[in-house]
Amino acid sequence: MGILDEYEDFLPLTCDRSFYRMVGLHGYPKNDLAADRLYELLGKARRARMIPFEAIRDDGAIQETGNWFSGPGQFWRAVKITAERYSVNRQAGQRRFLEIWVEAAGMVPQIVRVAEPFGVQCYPIC
């Protein structure tokens, strides 16, 4: 069974998660050179469509932008979408809050899929 098959329910994976599964499952060398080689291979495999592009996360570039709208119509569409997604904080009014802290930012989306319906927030340690 391949790593992407094993983690199908948790895609997309980070390059780091793929690397550590290669180390654990297949005895892949655990050093920077091996990691760099695997990351380059993953990039080539994505571009060659040997693996789905969306199966691997690339958190290398983070961009934050303002919240601008092209006009009132776009603004009101955003308001409508926000209203449709409205939900109450399930932990509001509780004396104690549950939180999940994970080893790496790349793991957050996978944990959020499980924790979010229960109102539990997830944070990366690094």
SS3 50: coil
Q: Among 11, 41, 57, which residue terminates a domain?
A: 57
* pLDDT value of residue 10: 79
Q: Are residues 95 and 50 in the same domain?
A: no
Residues 65-78 pLDDT 10s: 778 899 999 999 99
Is the residue at 119 inside a domain?
Answer: yes
**53-59 average pLDDT score:** 79
User: Looking at the 3D structure of the chain, how many domains does it have?
Assistant: 2
- Distance, first Cα to last Cα, the chain: 30
**How far apart, in Å, are the Cα atoms of 108 and each of 20, 26, 98?**
17, 25, 15
Matching residue, tokens 């469509």 = 49
* The pLDDT of residue 126: 64
Does the predicted model carry a pTM greater than 0.75? no
Output the pLDDT for position 60: 60
Range of the domain at 48: 3-57
Q: Is-contact 53 46, C-beta < 8 A?
A: yes
**What's the confidence (pLDDT) of residue 72?**
96
On whether residue 99 sits in a domain, the answer given is: yes
With respect to residue 74, please indicate whether it lies within any of the assigned structural domains. no
- pLDDT at residue 99, rounded to an integer: 93
